[in-house]
Structure 1
Amino acid sequence: MAIIGRLSRLSRIIDRRLAENFAAHDIDDWMYDVLATLYRSGEPWELSPTELVEHTMVTTGAMTNRIDRLSDRGLVTRRHDTDDRRRIVVALTDHGRALVEAVAPDHYRFEEALLAALSPTARNRLERNLRTLLIDLGDTPPEEPTHS
């Protein structure tokens, strides 16, 4: 009970603090998730909606809504692929890329501060243990850790 209770409390604290950090940049966590995923894809910073779904683990309906909302804010564009007109491509706009580049350093510092109480060895151990639990509970193993 103590472990589950602490994990639950920790999750709420992290979610709240992440929301505060993103709010300082006038975005929500889901926005940063999509924008950072596009950014991590590398130049030309574009993916299909299906690829975004695979990387962010949300439903296709949720992704469609997210893309629409990000497009309305001028952070992404949606167009047909030049090589295959049946394929849709979502791309970061210059404004979207600038936003990710502005938020990322703060986000990395924020994540570092959240884990400051743990030594590098303790962080590695915790990461392995959490990964083991997630896999055992049926969660898809994530790719190698990257900053989001």
Structure 2
Amino acid sequence: MPTSPSPTARAALHSRQPRPWCLPVTDAPSLSDLGIADPTTELFWKACLERRLIIQKCRSCASHQFYPRPFCLSCESDALEWVEAKGKGTVYSLTTVRIPVIEALEPPYVLALVELDEGPRLLTNIDDGPARIGDRVTLAWRERGGLPPLPIFRPAGS
């Protein structure tokens, strides 16, 4: 029969602080007023309030990444900084959603994976016209009434 950890081991377990990306789901979000549940994304959403799209860049290997994470996906360094994206990209993949999924989006709408000029891919919507794989797109914003606006994209010519 397995035994419980010793009192010393139990005390050591409870004295360690969890890493910020390992917080229990019962912890209160730091930006609950904005609907943000993950402290790693806090600066991203604050930048969205200013209509700025920011992504992470690793100071060790210079790679860019999105969505926000506490470490670099390329080299596992935690030396990350936020940089402003140019707001331009290329449609990597897309689909047209024709069946209602959420009330906020009336079908049909285009759901796309946009490869930013900096490299990372962003799952987003394409507004104002048809789009095809390989099309160039530019950043726009969708207002959400009380929540930070969402970065979306439009065909570069519109």
* TM-score, reference length from structure 2: 0.25
* TM-score, reference length from structure 1: 0.26
Return the structure number with greater strand share: 2
Which protein, 1 or 2, shows the higher relative CO under an 8 Å CA cutoff with sep ≥ 6? 1
Larger Rg: 2
